[in-house]
Structure 1
Amino acid sequence: MSLTGKEIEIKNHFNRIAEQYDYWKKKNSYYYSLLKNFYKKNIPVGSAVVEFGCATADILSACRPSKGLGIDISEKLITLAKHKHPEYEFKILDAQNFSCPEKFDYCIMSDLIDHLWNIPQAIESSRGVLNNEGRLIITSINPLWNPVLGLAERLKLKMPEGPHCFLPNSFIEFFCQAKGFRIISKGALIFIPIKIPFLSFLLNSLIPSVPILNRFCLVQTLIAEKIEPPRKDFSYSILIPAYNEEENIEECVRRIPKLSRDYEILVIDDGSIDSTPRILERLKGEIKNLRTVRLAKNSGKARAIEEGIKNSLKDVIIILDADMSVAPEDINLFIEPIELGLAEFINGTRLIYNMEKDAMEQIKRIANFLLAALLSLVLKSRITDTLCGTKAFFKRDFEGIRISGERWGDLVLLANAKIKKLRIAEVPVRYYARRAGHSKMRFLSDGLKFVFYTLITAFKPPASK
C-alpha cells in the first residue's frame, strides 16, 4: 500500500536525521537506558520479538531475542540497524500495513505511536504477527510534556521530533481493546529524563508508583495481551444529515467503506434547495443500500437526526457529516468498540490529533475546549469534544427522544447518553477542512445557544416526545 503525504513526510524526516540518530541517543543516553531497562524487564531473554519502528534496533537487541525482526519506514535507519545488529532481520516496511507468516511472542512499539497516522491499523498489524496470548508493549510520550520537549528541541537538547502527536494513554488503551487486546498493565515511567546523581534514581524509582504524581511522568507504558474477545453482530445505519451539499454528497456516499455487515446508508435531506435531491435520486439507482428521506423545509441538523433515528431500519446508528470534515472511512473506528461491548455510545473527538490546516479556526478550537469542559462538569463525565458530528449509538436508546430542541443535536445526544447511564467512550478522529461549500454553523449565535443548552441540561434533562 502506498504511503500518504503525511507518512512520506514522516519517512523523510527520519531519513534526514538518520546520520545523527546515534549522536542524539548518546546525548540522551540516560533516557534511552531507562527505556531499554523497561523492555528487558518485561520481555524474557530468548523470546521471539518484532519491533515496529525499530530505528537502529538498540531496544530490540537489548532484549536478546532468539528470533528478532525490526521494521521501519526509514531505509537509512534500517541500513544502520543492519550494520549494528547483523544477527537480526530487518525490513523497510510501514508498521501500519505490515503482515508476515512468522509469529512472535512480543511486539515492541517504542516512541512509535506518536508518529503514526493510523494508530488502530498499526495495532491491528501487531495482532496479526503475534502468537496467541502474545503481548504488545507500548511506550509513548505523555502529552503534558509537549511544551517542555518543544523547548528542549529548540535548544538542541534532544532529537528533532518531526511530525508527531502525543496521545493520552487512555486513547491508546481503547484502541488496543478495540483491536482484540486485553490490558495487562498500564503505567508511567521516567520523572526526570536526565541523570542527576542520586536524585534521578530516587525520583524515577518512586514517582511512577505514586498516584496523581505519576501523571507527570514523561513516558506512558502499556502492556496488552492478544485475546479472542466475544463479539456481537449488529446492523448499521450510516446516517448523513445534508443541507445544500451538492458539492460533497456524492463523494461522501461513495467513500463510505463497504462493510462486511448488514448496513444501510440513510441520507436525510434537510430541505435542500440546490441539486442535492437530484444527485441523491441518481445515486439511489446505483447504490442499492442507499435510502433517502426528504424534509419539506430546512429545520436544522438536530431535526434531520431525529428523522434519521425514526426512519432507521438497523440496530446501530452512526452519524456522519456530509462535508467529510471527518473521513467517511473512519466509521470503522466506531464499529469495533460497539461489537466488542466496549461502549454503548461513542463520541468522536477532533481535538486530540493535530488538525489539517484551516480545518478549525483557533478561536473555535478554544471555544470547543471550553464548552467541552463545561459539559464535562455538568455531566460529571470527561468529554473532550462536544460538537464533533460523528457519533455512534443504538437506535433503541434514542427512539422517542426529542433532539430538535437544540439546533445541532450534539448536546442532547450526549446528555441522554449520560442520563440513561450508557457506557460512553470517545474515539479520536482526524479533522479536515470542509471539502466544498461553507459551514452552516454561526459561531457567535450558535455558541451562545450551546452554552445555554449546556446549563439547562444541568437542571433539566432533555424531554421525550
Structure 2
Amino acid sequence: MRKYFYRLLSNYIRLYARPSDRVIEVDPVSPELREALSGVEGMASDSLQAADVESADYLVFNGNLHFEGDVQAYLGRVRALVQDRTRLVVITYSALWRPVIQLATALGLRRKTLESNWLAHGDVDNFLKLTDFELVRRDSRVVMPFYVPLLSTLVNRYLAPLPVVRALALVNVYVARPIPVAQASRPSVSVVVAARNEAGNIDNIISRVKAMGPDDELIFVEGGSSDDTWERLLRAKDEHPDRQILVAKQDGKGKGDAVRKGFAMASKDILMILDADLTVPPEDLPKFYGAIASGKAEFINGSRLVYPMEKEAMRFLNMLGNRFFASAFSFVLGQRFKDTLCGTKVLTRENYERLAANRSYFGEFDPFGDFDLIFGASRMGLKVIEVPITYRERTYGETNISRWRHGAMLLVMLVFASRKLKFI
C-alpha cells in the first residue's frame, strides 16, 4: 500500500517539478517519497541555508505542517531563504480521513507519531499569506490510497479530480510562490506581433505602441502574406530609425510558430504578444506591463469578456465558444481563465525560456500560440492574472480564424490538456 501511495504522490509532484528541476524535500518524515521521485534531495529545515535553496526550483513539504507547533514561524523561516522563482509544494491530509489514519497508525501501517494539526484549506491559505507566500494552485487527490487493479486507476485518475468526488480526497497538494519584493529598476519589453495580410495595420501598430520600459523593442514576424505586408514592414523599419524594430519571416505556419520565432529573437526582460488586427488596443499594453512589472503575477492574460465590446468585434457563436472553453480550461488548469483565446499574453523572458526548455511534455501542438503558453505556465505554477480590455472591431483585412476548424482543434487540446494536467 505504501509503495503505491507514494508512487501516486510522486506523480502529482512531478506534474510541476520536472526531472531537470532542483527539488528539495524539507524535513522528510520518511524516505519513501524521495525514493519514488528519484533525484530529490532531503534537508532538515534547521540546516537550510540561503546557499542551499537559492538554486532550488521546488521545496516539498510532505505533511510537515501537521506536526509543527508554530506553522507561521516555520514558514517564515523558509520565506527568508527562498528566491522569487522558487515554488513550495505543500502536501496536507484531509481531516475526513483522520479515523482511517489513526487506525493505520495503530496497525503499524504508518509512522507512530500522530498528527497534531489538521488544517483546512483556509488555514493553509492564511498561513501562506501571513508569511508572504501566495497560493497559486490547489489540487485534491487520492480517494483510494491502496491498489486494486483497474479500480484504483479509475478512481484516483478519473474520478478523484471531479468537483463532488474531490471533497472526499485524502491528499491536498498546494503550490505557492513567494510574494516578490518590488524592484527599483524598470524592465524593458519585447512586443511581438505576428503579421499575416496586415499591411494596412503596420503604421498604426508602430504609432500606437508606446514606450513602457526604458529600452523597448518591437518585433514583427511575417507569415506568408498575399498582400504587401512584408514590404510595408521593411519600409517601416527604415522610416523609424529611432525605434528598435526587428522584422523576420516565419519558418513554419500559424500564429504559434510566428510567436515562438519572435520570442526567440527577443532580448528584453518582458515578452508581450500583440495581435496585428488591433482588436486589442495597443494603448492597453501598459496595463499588462504594470501587472507583471509590479510582481502581481507572472503570467498576464488578456480578457475580452468583461467590458462591453464593439458590435462586430465578436460573433455570438464565437462568444459562446470562448465562454465554454474558458470554463473548461479553468477546471483543467486549476486557475481561473475567463478568456483563454485573447491574443495578448505577457510573461518574463526568463520564465518563457524555462517553459520552452520543457515544452516536450506537451509538444509543439498549438497553432495559435495561446495554449502552449497557458499550459506551460500552469505546469510551472506561475501566478496568473487577467487584465480586462475593450475588444475592438477589425478595421482592416479579414480574420485568420476558422470558427469550426479551430473550434474542433480546441476540443482536441482540451482533452489533451486534461490527460496531461488533470487526470494523471
TM-score range, shorter chain: 0.5 to 0.7
Task: Choose the corresponding residue for 1:455, options 410, 415, 423.
Answer: 415
CA-CA distance at 1:295 after TM superposition? 2.1
CA-CA distance at 1:296 after TM superposition? 4.7
Partner of 2:250: 295
CA-CA distance at 1:459 after TM superposition? 1.5
Partner of 1:268: 221
Distance in 2 of aligned mates of 1:394 and 1:259: 14
Task: Choose the corresponding residue for 2:391, options 431, 438, 463.
Answer: 431
Partner of 1:376: 330
CA-CA distance at 1:273 after TM superposition? 2.9
Partner of 1:355: 309
Partner of 1:398: 352
| Contact 1:231–1:341 (8 Å) recurs in 2 | no
Letter in 2 for 1:257: K
Distance in 1 of aligned mates of 2:334 and 2:211: 37
Are positions 1:241 and 2:194 aligned together?
yes
Distance in 2 of aligned mates of 1:249 and 1:448: 31
Letter in 2 for 1:249: I
Distance in 2 of aligned mates of 1:296 and 1:409: 15
| Contact 1:232–1:339 (8 Å) recurs in 2 | no
Distance in 1 of aligned mates of 2:217 and 2:322: 31
Partner of 1:443: 403
Task: Return closer, same or farther for 1:458/1:276 CA change in 2, 3 Å cut-off.
Answer: same
Are positions 1:343 and 2:297 aligned together?
yes
> Residue deviations 1:369-423, cap 9 Å, x none?
0000000010011100000001110122222355742110111211111100111
| Contact 2:186–2:213 (8 Å) recurs in 1 | no
May I ask how many residue pairs the two structures share in their alignment? Answer: 233
Task: Choose the corresponding residue for 2:232, options 279, 287, 291.
Answer: 279
> Residue deviations 1:230-282, cap 9 Å, x none?
55421210110111111212212221113352110001111223201111111
Distance in 1 of aligned mates of 2:267 and 2:410: 30
Task: Choose the corresponding residue for 2:282, options 316, 328, 351.
Answer: 328
Task: Return closer, same or farther for 1:455/1:231 CA change in 2, 3 Å cut-off.
Answer: farther
Alignment of 1:120-269 (within 5 A): 231-269=184-222
Distance in 1 of aligned mates of 2:329 and 2:345: 16
| Contact 1:348–1:428 (8 Å) recurs in 2 | yes
Letter in 1 for 2:208: R
CA-CA distance at 1:436 after TM superposition? 0.9
SS at match of 1:398: helix
Are positions 1:310 and 2:264 aligned together?
yes
- Quote the sequence identity (%): 33
Q: Segments of 4+ in structure 1 off by > 3 A?
A: 228-232, 401-404
Task: Return closer, same or farther for 1:231/1:459 CA change in 2, 3 Å cut-off.
Answer: farther
> Residue deviations 1:94-143, cap 9 Å, x none?
xxxxxxxxxxxxxxxxxxxxxxxxxxxxxxxxxxxxxxxxxxxxxxxxxx
Higher relative contact order (CA 8 A, sep 6+): 2
Task: Return closer, same or farther for 1:231/1:371 CA change in 2, 3 Å cut-off.
Answer: farther
| Contact 1:306–1:404 (8 Å) recurs in 2 | no
SS at match of 2:256: helix
| Contact 1:241–1:267 (8 Å) recurs in 2 | yes
Unpaired runs of 5+ residues, structure 1, are 1-227
> Residue deviations 1:22-68, cap 9 Å, x none?
xxxxxxxxxxxxxxxxxxxxxxxxxxxxxxxxxxxxxxxxxxxxxxx
Partner of 1:107: none
Distance in 2 of aligned mates of 1:230 and 1:296: 37
| Contact 2:189–2:213 (8 Å) recurs in 1 | no
Partner of 2:28: none
CA-CA distance at 1:309 after TM superposition? 1.2
Letter in 1 for 2:224: G
TM-score, structure 1 as length reference? 0.48
SS at match of 1:248: helix
Letter in 1 for 2:400: K
Letter in 2 for 1:300: G
Distance in 1 of aligned mates of 2:212 and 2:187: 11
| Contact 1:231–1:339 (8 Å) recurs in 2 | no
SS at match of 2:283: helix
Letter in 1 for 2:211: K
Letter in 1 for 2:274: L
Task: Return closer, same or farther for 1:260/1:393 CA change in 2, 3 Å cut-off.
Answer: closer
Partner of 2:369: 409
Distance in 2 of aligned mates of 1:296 and 1:450: 23
